[in-house]
Amino acid sequence: MKTFTFILFLMISSVAFAQRSAPDQIETKNGSLLIQPILHGTVALTWDGKTIYIDPYGGAEAFDGIAAPDLILITDIHGDHMSIETLEGIETSKAIIVAPVAVTEKLPENLKAQTTSLNNGKQIEKLGISITAIPMYNLPEDSESRHTKGRGNGYVLNIGGKNIYFSGDTEDIPEMRSLENIDVAFVCMNLPYTMDIDQATSAVLAFKPKIIYPYHYRGQGGLADVEAFQKKVNGSNNKIEVRLRNWYPSYK
């Protein structure tokens, strides 16, 4: 039955959203975790009968064929992370939302009522998933920073014993470099908003996730060279699996 459901998920996704990467499957101690790249910094996870959206963006059509969310995590106030249009277009009536205070303050009242605010360094549990808010910010820390320390959250989710890290918009900050026991990491790399591939490589080699997805890699100059990132990481540590997926699919 689980195999049939997984195959049906793949078929629906491929029809509904042209060129979308197929979901990856990771085994946890409580069943399979499906990881579905959506768009830019947006990810959908399915585990234990629950669906989790991270930074839903791209309009409701970006989620065609994917179940409505039980849990939504938002990292920051910018429109490619906190997309009010997308949030109002998808079915959110049963969703728990977790977000930093700066995001909660900007949400419509109906969504605000469903939101738990979480500050950097704090941890909560929702739907059997441990959620830890990790700082995300630009360096140097000054008034010109696009992402100031304390405003947004990266997240570490513990799902069935697996630690899944989402960087949000950040540079190679000490809090990321010091992470431990990360099974899967999603790390941004787009200039001038976050970091270049050399900074991202240095950070990844420092905290050594088992699997790394470069995501959020569209910047002012186009798409970052994620193939070069993969070569740099594996040139220094070939035990880290770098997964390149299509984060910029074309809609039909």
Domain residue ranges in the chain: 19-242
Burial 117-149 (b: 16+ CB within 10 A, else e): bbebeeeeebeebebbbbbbbbeeeeeeeebeb
Please give the CATH number for the structural domain made up of 19-242. 3.60.15.10
pTM check: above 0.85: yes
Give the C-alpha separation, 60 to 252, whole Å. Answer: 14
User: pLDDT at position 147, please?
Assistant: 85
The predicted-structure confidence for 60-99, as pLDDT tens digits, reads as follows 999 999 999 999 999 999 999 999 999 999 999 999 999 9
The predicted-structure confidence for 17-27, as pLDDT tens digits, reads as follows 557 889 999 99
Contacts of 144 (CB under 8 A, 6+ apart): none
User: pLDDT at position 252, please?
Assistant: 40
User: pLDDT at position 16, please?
Assistant: 43
User: pLDDT at position 10, please?
Assistant: 41
Contact predicate 102/119, CB 8 Å: no
Q: In what order do the strands lie in the sheet with 24-28?
A: 24-28, 31-39, 42-47, 50-54, 71-73, 96-99, 115-117
The predicted-structure confidence for 130-153, as pLDDT tens digits, reads as follows 999 999 998 876 666 788 999 999
**Helix 197-207 and helix 226-236, axial crossing angle in degrees, nearest 10:** 40
| Phi, psi (rounded to 5 degrees) for 137 | -165, 165
Q: What is the pLDDT along the chain (252 residues), one digit of tens a residue?
A: 444 444 444 444 444 455 788 999 999 999 999 999 999 999 999 999 999 999 999 999 999 999 999 999 999 999 999 999 999 999 999 999 999 999 999 999 999 999 999 999 999 999 999 999 999 998 876 666 788 999 999 999 999 999 999 999 999 999 999 999 999 999 999 988 899 999 999 999 999 999 999 999 999 989 999 999 999 999 999 999 999 999 998 744
